[in-house]
Amino acid sequence: MAHVPLPLPTRGPVSRRLTIAFRTIMIMMLVPAVLSIAMLTSFSQLYYSFLTRAEKINSLSVLVVDTLPTEMFSIVAGRKPFEDGQQDALMEEVSQTLDGLIAERPASELELTVARRTSETMGNYIRQMGQQMAFGSSVDEDMLVLEEIRNVSSLLGDMFSDAVSAEIRAANATSQQLRIALFIAVALEVALVAFALAFIRAAGGALSRAVADPLADLQAFAGKIADGQLEERTPEPDVDELRALSASLNVMAGKLDGLIKENKREQENLKKSELRVLQAQVTPHFLYNTLDAIVWLAEARKNSEVIAITRALSDFYRISLSDGRDWITVSQEEEHLRGYLTIQKIRYRDILDYDISIDPELKNEMILKLSVQPLVENALYHGIKNRRGGGCVTVDVEKKNGMLCVHVSDNGIGMTQERLENLRDMLSGKEPSADSGFGLFSVDQRIKLYYDQAQGLKVESALGRGTAISFSVPLNHQVR
């Protein structure tokens, strides 16, 4: 097959190339088809006009040869008076029809023009008969005029017959031209279909190569990314759509590389945070201090308090460990919190009061383990203990706008503005030191990670007035 030149750009969007190819094919198919339809319609209308005129001429022939002589004979025979006859209306119809046919410039224009003049002669004879009948002419005189009318009508019949023949000959000639035009149109359409098929094949091959080669490169690049070769980059293709895709894949590879490294660091930090949180809960000095308190209470024979603090210590460590689970119910978190506060209340007595308020509807909701107790511990050690006369820790857990909201506040010593800003900076991402509130940092990071949200803890504080720490997490969060 001969090579078909393609009017397609070598660069640019595939959609533009397809549009150009589609429009080219549409033009090749539609323009000849429209021309063929227009030509066939013109010939068909011409052919129809010939046949219509022949039909009209035939009807005139019947009117002039049969109807009009019969009407005149009835008048001559005395069957009806001249004034009541239809001869004038018939002649008017003949004249108007002939005038209309001649105005169309038909193939039988000559025959119809002669017939129009002859019809005027017949009209003169009819008027002559009317005049002589008005003066009382005899039947023989009227019959002579009637005979002239019959002769003229016979002559008109021959003329109309010749006119019909002329129209039929013209129709036959048009029919022959129509057959030739049909043959040419069919041949042209076949040739155009063959050319269009060749064009489609060539254009399809060109577009396929334009897309397939870059796609193969992108496929190979994607395979490298899947194998972990994130430092690889794909070259820019000539196709606009694929160029944007290549750029996106290159950016994605770079971001994946960074995210994998960042995720590795976060996982390491998370593991360290979890270990430190667990270590903070089982720290020896807390256990030793609690055991010392139990011994002191036992020596003082305060059996009920010994039982209470021992049970609280047991519940505290049982829920802290939780068989390694990260998620517990709000009710279990409350039990863990009350165990911790029971121990601390017995130890610190007059300097510590607390109030826990939890919406009963939230008791069975799941919450991240050790997300509330470290906030209470922070309130005790950094707020209440440093305030002369002690203070109170308040814990509120409520449902608001589809969120589980935790609010821990104290009326302790509070923080200076500088320390508050340092704490907020730490929660925004800075690595904390061992004595700068690691428990708060750990809770903040674990909330952000486990609940997949940007906001962790919110801290408000004023020196001498106390501190409030809160966070909000989605209800019905899917446990991972």
Q: Residues 37-77: pLDDT tens digits?
A: 777 787 778 777 878 888 888 888 888 888 988 988 888 88
Name the DSSP class of 79.
S
Nearest C-alpha neighbor of 313 from the set 296, 292, 336: 336
For the entire predicted model, the pTM comes to 0.47
CATH code matching the domain that covers 282-474, chosen among 3.40.50.2300, 3.40.50.300, 3.30.565.10, 3.30.1380.10: 3.30.565.10
For the chain, give every domain's residue range: 14-210, 229-266, 282-474
pLDDT over 90 percentage in the chain: 13
225 HSE (CA, 13 A, CB side): 19
Q: Return the ∠ at Cα 90 (arms to 85 and 95), rounded to 5°.
A: 145
> pLDDT at residue 262 above 90?
no
pLDDT at 277: 58
Is the model's pLDDT at 1 over the cut of 50?
no
- Amino acid code (one letter) for 44: S
CA distances from 383 to 186, 305, 371, 392, 393 (A): 99, 26, 19, 10, 9
Neighbour tally for 352: CB within 10 Å: 20
Q: What's the confidence (pLDDT) of residue 408?
A: 96
The DSSP symbol for 433 reads P
Each residue's pLDDT tens digit, 330-375 = 998 898 888 888 888 887 777 888 999 999 999 999 998 888 988 9
Distance (Å, rounded) from C-alpha 291 to C-alpha 281? 15
The pLDDT assigned to 2 comes to 45
pLDDT at 280 over 60: no
